[in-house]
């Protein structure tokens, strides 16, 4: 039996392997690792001996990974990335505390970032890193402390904290509503009037898009075949809100994300309470007991939950997640 192949693989050898595979060059890998080319060659040879497999086809101009090398690389790359991220986080925590928040772009833009200065005033020694993207995040990632997610209750993991539910409403800018009232723009008193306006539609193919679409809202209000003056298709919710604020059309806004703009009168609900509909989707705070055991993460989670309670109050959402009628349109 070859006992050498049972030993744990050398970290230095794996780093050399990843660098050579990524750079397709022994000399470039040596420069990156601050080693001599012969040292890198010895590390690769040692790794090949440990594995019992050739890893590179060495040509005159460049290096080609073998199928075995490609298989190994798929495991090594993410593992090294996580290792480096963990080391980086430990080093940073020795100087300043940092909370890593993962969420999606519209939530970050419309809800989190407008509020986050208040947390930073209360906790000037805690840095916040917000990563906004639609990809699913993993709490096993050392650079993810908590996740602010939008999904149905059935999709929420065990231990997730419900922040608030989802209510949607047509919304227009204050300036457009003033023009409508002055007779300078088409009326907007009943759903059928939307045929004379531009509708900002979220161009999304995920399951939740069914409830975010104008088609769903129009069907709920007895106008399933209505065609607006024009459609304005946009990728993200925050773009719809920006379009509405700019007077480009009517957005189907997520009330929880625009409650401040409604309160300030920057956005107006033309149909008032009658225009609001709910969806089964909710907003959630997701973290693990291990992460929340850290004082800085716990403080940020507590703050998010307190802000969410204010949002529920502002939108009229009761403890059961229902919504009470909003204020009349201004």
At 204 the pLDDT is: 74
Q: Compare 320 and 301 and report the one with higher pLDDT.
A: 301
Q: What is the pLDDT of residues 179-214, one digit of tens each?
A: 999 999 999 999 999 999 999 998 877 766 788 899
At 326 the pLDDT is: 43
Q: What is the pLDDT of residues 265-308, one digit of tens each?
A: 999 999 999 999 999 999 999 998 888 889 999 999 999 999 99
Q: What is the dihedral of CA 170, 172, 176, 178, to 10 degrees?
A: 80
Q: What is the pLDDT of residues 23-50, one digit of tens each?
A: 888 888 888 888 888 888 999 999 888 8
Checking if the pLDDT of 327 tops 60, the result is: no
Q: What is the DSSP string of 94-111?
A: TTSEEEEEEE-HHHIIII
At 289 the pLDDT is: 87
Checking if the pLDDT of 172 tops 90, the result is: yes
Average pLDDT value for residue range 39-62: 85
**Domains parsed from the chain with CATH numbers:** 3-93 (1.10.10.10), 97-330 (3.40.190.290)
At 319 the pLDDT is: 46
At 181 the pLDDT is: 94
Checking if the pLDDT of 94 tops 90, the result is: no
- Sign of CA pseudo-dihedral 281, 283, 286, 292: negative
Q: What is the pLDDT of residues 111-149, one digit of tens each?
A: 999 999 999 999 998 999 999 887 666 667 767 899 999
At 79 the pLDDT is: 87
At 1 the pLDDT is: 41
Beta-sheet strands, E only, within 104-212: 126-132, 146-151, 161-173, 198-202
How does the average pLDDT of the chain come out, rounded?
Answer: 87
Checking if the pLDDT of 328 tops 70, the result is: no
Output the CA–CA distances (angstroms, integers) from residue 321 to 153, 307, 316, in the order listed. Answer: 12, 16, 9
At 329 the pLDDT is: 42
Checking if the pLDDT of 324 tops 60, the result is: no
At 290 the pLDDT is: 85
Tell me the three state secondary structure of residue 175: helix
Which range is most confident: 18-27, 75-84, 130-139, 255-264?
Answer: 255-264
Q: Compare 3 and 13 and report the one with higher pLDDT.
A: 13
Q: What is the DSSP string of 58-83?
A: E-SS-EEE-HHHHHHHHHHHHHHHHH
């Amino acid at each position: 039996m070859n006992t050498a192949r049972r030993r744990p693989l050398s970290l230095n050898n794996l780093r050399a392997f990843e660098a050579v595979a990524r750079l397709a060059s022994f000399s470039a890998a040596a420069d990156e690792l601050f080693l001599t080319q012969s040292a890198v060659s010895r590390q690769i040879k040692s790794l090949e001996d440990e594995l019992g497999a050739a890893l590179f086809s060495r040509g005159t101009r460049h290096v080609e990974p073998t199928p075995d090398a490609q298989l190994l690389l798929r495991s090594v790359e993410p593992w090294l990335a996580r290792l480096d991220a963990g080391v980086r986080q430990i080093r940073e925590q020795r100087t300043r505390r940092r909370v890593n928040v993962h969420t999606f772009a519209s939530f970050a833009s419309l809800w989190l970032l407008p509020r986050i200065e208040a947390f930073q005033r209360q906790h000037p020694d805690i840095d916040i890193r917000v990563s906004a993207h639609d990809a699913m995040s993993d709490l096993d990632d050392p650079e993810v402390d908590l996740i602010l997610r939008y999904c149905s209750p059935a999709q929420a993991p065990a231990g997730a904290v419900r922040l608030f539910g989802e209510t949607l409403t047509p919304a227009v800018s204050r300036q457009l509503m003033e023009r409508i009232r002055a007779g300078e723009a088409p009326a907007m008193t009943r759903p059928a009037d939307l045929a004379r306006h531009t509708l900002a539609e979220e161009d999304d193919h995920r399951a939740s898009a069914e409830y975010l679409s104008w088609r769903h809202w129009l069907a709920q209000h007895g106008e399933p075949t209505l065609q607006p003056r024009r459609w304005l298709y946009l990728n993200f919710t925050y773009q719809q809100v920006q379009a509405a604020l700019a007077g480009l059309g009517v957005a189907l806004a997520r009330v929880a994300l625009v409650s401040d703009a409604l309160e300030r009168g920057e956005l107006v609900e033309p149909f008032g309470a009658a225009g609001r509909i709910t969806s089964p989707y909710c907003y959630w705070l997701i973290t693990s007991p291990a992460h929340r055991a850290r004082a800085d993460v716990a403080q940020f989670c507590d703050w998010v939950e307190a802000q969410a309670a204010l949002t529920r109050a502002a939108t009229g959402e009761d403890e059961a997640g229902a919504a009470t009628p909003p204020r009349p349109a201004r």
